[in-house]
Amino acid sequence: MTDVDTPEVREAVAAMRARLGDLLLPRYERQPHVTVAFGGLAPEPGATPTGVLYPPDLADLHAARVRDLGVAPFTVRISGWDTFTTTPYLVAEAPQLALLHEALIRERPRTADFAPTYVTHVTTGHYAVSVPVEDVRRRLEGFQCPDLEVRVDHLTLASYETHDIAGRLSVARIVEHFDRLSTGPVETP
């Protein structure tokens, strides 16, 4: 993930959550971030998880692949909003996100695909009720997310407790610091 947890982004998330009110689960503690790729479940000793696993050797391979890309620090631009069927979000854009995403999903089984296309976004919560998308759009009519820019200089492998969909993310490791990789100038907005 890329960390976009700044006071301005937190304010935009809070404003969108306030606008949607009772449509959302009341609690959402995730730090603002852009998911670059879903890794899978961490294999726990003695557990017999099913589904897609994300073993440490795959994390090491992904770190090497990110290093090989040589990505320089970049800016994520956040503006506007949209919604999936389960979560509303702020729109996030940076060409480097798609490049990183493609590098990190090569080994992912097709069964791990949650969506046919990668949509860069900052989730603002989870819906608490079944609601037509048109109702969400009406509720957000006139809502303006300010144009925000967040500098990204590292990629983080984060985890969460799967039983707590709204819980905080924990840093498992910093995958790579882009400023150590770059041979060119740092991108400036």
Compute the mean pLDDT over every residue in the chain, rounded to the nearest whole number.
Answer: 85
Residue 189 covered by a domain: no
Residue 47 covered by a domain: no
What is the pTM assigned to this prediction?
0.86
Residue 145 covered by a domain: yes
pLDDT number for residue 57: 79
Residue 104 covered by a domain: yes
CA atoms within 13 A on the CB side of 67: 10
Domain boundaries, position 19: 2-42+52-181
CA distance 188 to 2: 17
Residue 156 covered by a domain: yes
Check whether 119 has a pLDDT greater than 50: yes
Here the tokens at position 82 are 């949209």
Structurally, the chain folds into a number of domains equal to: 1
**Could you report the per-residue pLDDT of 60-85, keeping only the tens digit for each?**
888 888 888 888 999 999 999 999 99
**Could you report the per-residue pLDDT of 101-116, keeping only the tens digit for each?**
988 887 665 545 555 6
Residue 187 covered by a domain: no
Task: Look up the CATH number of the domain holding residue 109.
Answer: 3.90.1140.10
pLDDT number for residue 32: 97
